[in-house]
């Protein structure tokens, strides 16, 4: 069975249609890249899948393991296994990152009918994952994303992903604003999480991220829908020729 199935999805914001019939099937273990010019609705797609308020789905459906998720609250979708790495991670003053992580892990455990994680186990788990991602311990004590550099924010997103072990991960322009070193760390983190039953949708404007995270499929997104799909060679072609023909086509 497909892990994620997006069926002819239409969605609008303030009455203006942004998604104009998106269809996409992602099987377990697959890495998909969604590429396209800015302002064509790529982030809208990720927000609609994650259930952000303010988007109206006018028709179509999104299925996770065969079940529609459109009627679920954002936290229910998260607990069901959908993870969104934000393009702009949000700052929450006063709330220590570790407290936030613990709340998220426990929410997921509660949903799965497990007991809360104990403090020692939690510390061990977080510290181990943090080390892999080059996240310093003091970052865990600082308030969520407050005063983090661009690279730190993105690494913190991947750390959350690693801890929550989702089935389906959306990376929304995770490469934006990263230098080469940070890009490598983030990509290594993502690659380490690739597994036979976990799938990814990587949204990006540039091909550069895809040299580190090699996709199985590449889709070109323009004018609110997927206009072309292919293998990883398509990304190279886009890098070469740009999006002009797709912008015109849309």
Q: Where do contacts with other proteins occur on this chain (CB under 8 A)?
A: 50-54, 73-75, 77-79, 83-84, 86, 89-100, 102-104, 107-108, 111, 119, 122-123, 126, 140-141, 143-144, 160, 164
Nearer to other proteins, 8 or 73 (CB): 73
Nearer to other proteins, 67 or 141 (CB): 141
The least CB distance from residue 115 to other proteins, in Å, is: 16
Residues sharing a CB contact under 8 Å with residue 126, sequence separation 6 or more, in sequence order: 98, 101, 140, 159, 163
* Integer Cα distance of 130 and 133 in angstroms: 5
* Integer Cα distance of 85 and 23 in angstroms: 21
Residues sharing a CB contact under 8 Å with residue 71, sequence separation 6 or more, in sequence order: none
Nearer to other proteins, 144 or 226 (CB): 144
The least CB distance from residue 102 to other proteins, in Å, is: 5
* Integer Cα distance of 102 and 68 in angstroms: 28
The least CB distance from residue 19 to other proteins, in Å, is: 18
Nearer to other proteins, 165 or 239 (CB): 165
The least CB distance from residue 128 to other proteins, in Å, is: 14
Using the 8-state DSSP alphabet, how is residue 56 labeled?
Answer: E
* Integer Cα distance of 77 and 70 in angstroms: 9
């Amino acid at each position: 069975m497909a892990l994620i199935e997006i069926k002819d999805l239409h969605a609008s914001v303030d009455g203006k249609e942004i998604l104009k019939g998106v269809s996409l099937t992602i099987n377990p273990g697959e890495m998909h890249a969604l590429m396209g010019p800015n302002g064509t609705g790529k982030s809208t797609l990720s927000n609609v899948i994650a259930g952000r308020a303010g988007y109206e789905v006018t028709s179509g459906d999104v299925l996770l393991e065969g079940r529609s998720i459109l009627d679920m609250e954002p936290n229910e979708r998260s607990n069901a296994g959908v993870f969104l790495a934000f393009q702009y991670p949000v700052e929450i003053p006063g709330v220590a990152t570790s407290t936030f992580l613990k709340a998220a892990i426990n929410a997921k455990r509660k949903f799965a009918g497990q007991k809360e994680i104990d403090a020692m186990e939690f510390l061990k788990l977080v510290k181990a994952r943090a080390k892999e991602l080059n996240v310093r311990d003091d970052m865990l004590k600082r308030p969520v994303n407050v005063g983090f550099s661009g690279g730190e924010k993105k690494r913190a997103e991947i750390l959350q992903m690693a801890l929550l072990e989702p089935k389906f991960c959306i990376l929304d322009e995770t490469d934006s604003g990263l230098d080469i070193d940070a890009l490598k760390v983030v990509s290594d983190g993502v690659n380490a999480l690739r597994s036979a039953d976990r799938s990814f949708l990587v949204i990006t404007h540039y091909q550069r991220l895809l040299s580190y995270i090699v996709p199985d499929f590449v889709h070109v997104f323009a004018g609110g829908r997927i206009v072309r799909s292919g293998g990883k060679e398509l990304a190279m072609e886009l890098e070469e020729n740009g999006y002009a023909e797709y912008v015109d086509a849309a």
